[in-house]
Chains A and B, each alone.
Chain A
Amino acid sequence: MSNDIRIRKGLNINLKGEAEKKISDAPRSGTFVLKPTDFHGVTPKMVVKEGDQVKAGDSVFYSKNNEKIRFVSPVSGTISEIRRGAKRRILEIVIAADGQDTFRGLDAKNPKELSSEEVKEFLLDSGCWPFVRQRPYDVIANPEESPKAIFISAYATAPLAADVDVLLEGKEEDFQAGIDAVSKLTEGKVHLSVGKNSSSFLSGVKGVELHRVSGPHPAGNVGVQIHHIDPINAGERVWVLNPEDVAIIGKVFRTGEFDATRTVALVGSEVETPQYYRVKIGSAISSLVPKATSDVRIISGDVLTGVQVSAEGFLGFYANTVTVIPEGNQYRMFGWLPFKDNNIPSMHHTSLSWLFPKKKYVVNTNLNGEERALVVTGEMEKVLPMDVYPMQLLKACMVNDIEKMENLGIYEVAPEDFALIDYACTSKIEAQEIIREGLDLMIKEVG
């Protein structure tokens, strides 16, 4: 059974440097990191100390709020350094990897024969729990709660996003086992959405409600799909997973080994041969981008929601894309003239670039203006395909008006849904950051 969802509002930004559908093994990186900053709201409590030996799947730290949520090492090796920032906050845990991984062996299990509690225990014990995230608030799910439904979006629409069909190549059985496992976590449905014309094995996955989604970005955002399928009301919980993470979970059930291998799309105009690479979670960026110059920006993730990393940095926990684009720290003369600089993509008609929607653009990181008071109206609505008033919600977040935020639908949005508003806003406001702060306030005040 499948249901069609057609999204009309939104914007596809066509960028140069799309990945060729070819997967290679990236050279194994010598060091790996786990970054507690990848897990919003988690305060780490260390289990290991510098010099300890760990196997792949051994706990490195757990969450201070819930000891059961454990974060495990993606590889086997030695904890070489715990990097701290201001106020001794832990930023990175560096693991010097062995040449070959040895795994903390668990017994393989058939999720179909397990109870809901047993699946939960296994996920927590194996270190797979951080893959399960919760809406509202866009944080790691609380294992004490039970969600009304689980959503998995296998339709990627972000600029230069990794194609889910490529990510799941050869992982069909793992994926099905993962679905069997996570479907035990809810009494409601497991919703899986695919692209409208997708012909991959996903259409035949058992135990899910299939949705065929079409439309421009952010149609692929799981939050947008939830809004159109089964919107979140106050007090409700929905859990979401990335498709590749479902396959990793499935593999742990089938083999008992936490295999942190991911397929990552290396994309962007500054990449010579954009394609897919097989790497482990937490790999050094240098194993993907060996010779980065200083005039490029490396992003772990896509250009809208990713995190900037240095050439010596590491891949984020959830990232399945690494984007490399030019930095934009140049001046541009008379850039305020309408219809000038049409080589910069713009959804606004004060530039002619909207006339060429098929053209692939090279974009840099220039802000293309300065932050201003909110003046222009109606532009945010164009890129948010939800029954939510984005500007009013942002203003409510800015003034910390909890009741208004709740009324205007804060539970239904995640920062990534506002990424296009970041992009499109004439006044250059940081919408994702405002929404994140708003969500954090809600966690604190409402929970």
Chain B
Amino acid sequence: MKFLRTKIDQLKKPFGKGEKWEKFAPAINALDTFLYVPNHVTKRGAHIRDAVDLKRTMITVVVALLPALIYGIYNTGYQYLYQVNGGEVAFMEAFLHGLGKILPMIVVSYGVGLAIEFAFAVYRGHEVNEGFLVTGLLVPMIMPVDIPLWMVGLSVAFAVLIGKEAFGGTGMNILNPALLARAFAFFAYPTYMSGNKVWVSEASHIDAVSGETILGSLATGHDVHFSMMDMFYGAIPGSIGETSTLCILVGALILIATGVGSWRIMLGGLIGASLTGLLFNLWGANALMSFPWYGHLIVGGFAFGIVFMATDPVSAAQTNKGKWIYGILIGFFCLMIRLFNPAYPEGVMLGILLMNVFAPTIDFYVVEANIKRRKKRLEASKKLKTA
């Protein structure tokens, strides 16, 4: 191990202070810190520090995403092979087909995003922030499987440049970058992002294939021929990562147990969506409204969005009370958009983006309440003195 360390130190020499490649130090540091936690010691403030750092936090989210990703890869192959061959589908065969589709998307997403992150770190002279480790994996997982790779790259570039760097980089963005990538693709290339031909691999080349999502079927008045169990386990067409509620729940448990994802937002979202769903079940004016409320929680991107997107700490509300309000409102708006927007039956993306914009306002009022309490106390003590 010592050998490797000395080798790296040798390699890093030209990037040191006052050396030839000093400007590019953030890039080489990012690679080095991926291998080793640096030997930096505390200089000011507390002399000891917690074992956690941003890398660890972000990698935990990646770990939580893995069950949904692996199932998503399998399901991509399964949906294709089932419709082409019918009957039994071998796991490995399906997985390999899915991998052939999805791996390139992941590579493109990470490649484009990290290139921009590294470039900005060098340009601005700060270290590379780890946020993109998560964003880079989230983007392919919320895209339809048949989207062309160049669109993935373009969406990622848009999200990172306009959504993040334009606001000042990691920690400063208002909108969730991964969702912004999807929103960009959705509004720029609607034909590749909706309809019934994009959700199943190669569907556009095979006439017999019907690749409608369940929400799509409901919105257009078609019959849904999947059981609730299928929807829960995830053997349905949809964006890559969103189909299996079971795998997403495993991820949610990892996030909640490690404290990385806010349970307040997740529970708030669940409550908001359930109540809204129940309310419209009572009304039941169209197929989407009479679709059972618990069904709304397991179809489409709701589960994925509320677990992995809404909990992004940068774009979410930052106060604990604010997180409750933020979560509940996301649940509410997701369903409202689903039920009342005939053009686009999936409301999660827009629901979360909308609340991203309002999160600072929610926090403002929560903090304002604290300020009011303090001012009231001051008034009370002043009165006491004059009395």
Q: Count of chain A residues with Cβ under 8 Å from any Cβ of B?
A: 75
Contact call A338/B63, Cβ cutoff below 8 A: yes
Known A-B contacts A368-B53, A372-B170; A338 and B258 likewise in contact (beta carbons under 8 Å): yes
Contact call B37/A366, Cβ cutoff below 8 A: yes
Which residues of A have CB within 8 Å of B375?
407
Partner of B367, one of A304, A408, A433: A408
Partner of A304, one of B48, B63, B371: B48
Question: Residues of A with Cβ closer than 8 Å to B?
Answer: 13, 159, 231, 233-234, 236, 297, 299, 303-306, 308, 323, 325, 327-338, 341, 344-351, 353, 363-378, 381, 387-389, 391-392, 407-409, 419-420, 422-428, 430-433
Query: In the complex, what residue of chain A is closest to B62 when comparing beta carbons?
Result: A338
Q: Count of chain B residues with Cβ under 8 Å from any Cβ of A?
A: 58
**Stretch from B110-118, B124-132, B229-237, B240-248 forming part of the interface with A:** B124-132
Contact call B45/A337, Cβ cutoff below 8 A: no
Known A-B contacts A368-B37, A387-B370, A408-B371; A422 and B49 likewise in contact (beta carbons under 8 Å): yes
Contact call A378/B262, Cβ cutoff below 8 A: yes
Query: In the complex, what residue of chain B is closest to A434 when comparing beta carbons?
Result: B45
Which residues of B have CB within 8 Å of A347?
50
Complex CA gap A392/B366 in Å reads 11
Give 1 or 0 for each of B141-176: 1 = CB within 8 Å of chain A CB: 000000000000000000000000000011110000
Which residues of A have CB within 8 Å of B35?
333-334
**Stretch from B183-191, B220-228, B311-319 forming part of the interface with A:** B311-319
Partner of B378, one of A234, A372, A373, A433: A234
Complex CA gap A366/B37 in Å reads 9
Which residues of A have CB within 8 Å of B31?
none
Contact call A375/B37, Cβ cutoff below 8 A: no
Query: In the complex, what residue of chain A is closest to B372 when comparing beta carbons?
Result: A407
Query: In the complex, what residue of chain A is closest to B46 when comparing beta carbons?
Result: A422
Which residues of B have CB within 8 Å of A408?
367, 370-371
Complex CA gap A159/B367 in Å reads 31
Q: At the interface, yes or no: B3 with Cβ under 8 Å from chain A?
A: no
| Count of inter-chain pairs, beta carbons less than 8 A | 215
Contact call B257/A349, Cβ cutoff below 8 A: yes
Complex CA gap A353/B48 in Å reads 15
Which residues of B have CB within 8 Å of A378?
262, 313, 318, 320, 323
Which residues of B have CB within 8 Å of A299?
47
Residue of B41, B260, B313 with highest tally of chain A CB at under 10 A: B41
Partner of A348, one of B50, B129, B172, B367: B50
Which residues of A have CB within 8 Å of B53?
335-336, 368-370, 372, 426, 428
Partner of B56, one of A304, A338, A420: A338
Contact call B318/A332, Cβ cutoff below 8 A: no
Q: At the interface, yes or no: B276 with Cβ under 8 Å from chain A?
A: no
Q: List 30 A-B contacts (CB under 8 A).
A: A231-B377, A236-B381, A297-B41, A297-B47, A299-B47, A330-B39, A334-B36, A337-B59, A338-B59, A348-B51, A348-B258, A349-B259, A363-B48, A366-B39, A366-B49, A369-B37, A369-B54, A369-B56, A372-B129, A375-B129, A375-B131, A378-B323, A387-B370, A387-B373, A391-B318, A392-B318, A426-B53, A427-B171, A432-B44, A433-B45
Contact call A331/B170, Cβ cutoff below 8 A: no
Contact call A368/B50, Cβ cutoff below 8 A: yes
Q: At the interface, yes or no: B86 with Cβ under 8 Å from chain A?
A: no
Contact call A329/B45, Cβ cutoff below 8 A: no
Interface members, chain B 75-111 (any A CB < 8 Å): none
Beyond known contacts A335-B37, A375-B129: 10 more, CB 8 A cutoff: A233-B378, A338-B56, A345-B51, A348-B56, A368-B37, A369-B54, A370-B127, A378-B320, A387-B373, A419-B45
Which residues of A have CB within 8 Å of B56?
335-338, 348, 350-351, 369
> What does DSSP make chain A's interface, helix, strand, loop or mixed?
loop
Chain B nearest CB, measured from A367 CB (Å):
4
Which residues of B have CB within 8 Å of A372?
53-54, 127, 129-130, 170-171
Q: At the interface, yes or no: B18 with Cβ under 8 Å from chain A?
A: no
Chain B nearest CB, measured from A271 CB (Å):
15
Contact call B258/A349, Cβ cutoff below 8 A: yes
Contact call A430/B44, Cβ cutoff below 8 A: yes
Complex CA gap A376/B131 in Å reads 11
Q: At the interface, yes or no: B40 with Cβ under 8 Å from chain A?
A: yes
Give 1 or 0 for each of B348-387: 1 = CB within 8 Å of chain A CB: 0000000000000000000100110111011001000000
Known A-B contacts A234-B378, A334-B35; A427 and B41 likewise in contact (beta carbons under 8 Å): no
Complex CA gap A428/B49 in Å reads 8
Which residues of B have CB within 8 Å of A369?
37, 49, 52-56
Contact call B36/A331, Cβ cutoff below 8 A: yes
Chain B nearest CB, measured from A30 CB (Å):
28
Known A-B contacts A346-B50, A348-B50; A377 and B260 likewise in contact (beta carbons under 8 Å): no
Which residues of B have CB within 8 Å of A333?
1, 35-37
5 tightest A-B contacts by CB?
Answer: A369-B53, A373-B171, A335-B37, A336-B55, A422-B46
Contact call B41/A327, Cβ cutoff below 8 A: yes
Contact call A370/B46, Cβ cutoff below 8 A: no
Which residues of A have CB within 8 Å of B314?
375
Known A-B contacts A331-B39, A350-B260, A368-B37; A376 and B57 likewise in contact (beta carbons under 8 Å): yes
Which residues of B have CB within 8 Å of A344?
50-51
Chain B nearest CB, measured from A139 CB (Å):
19
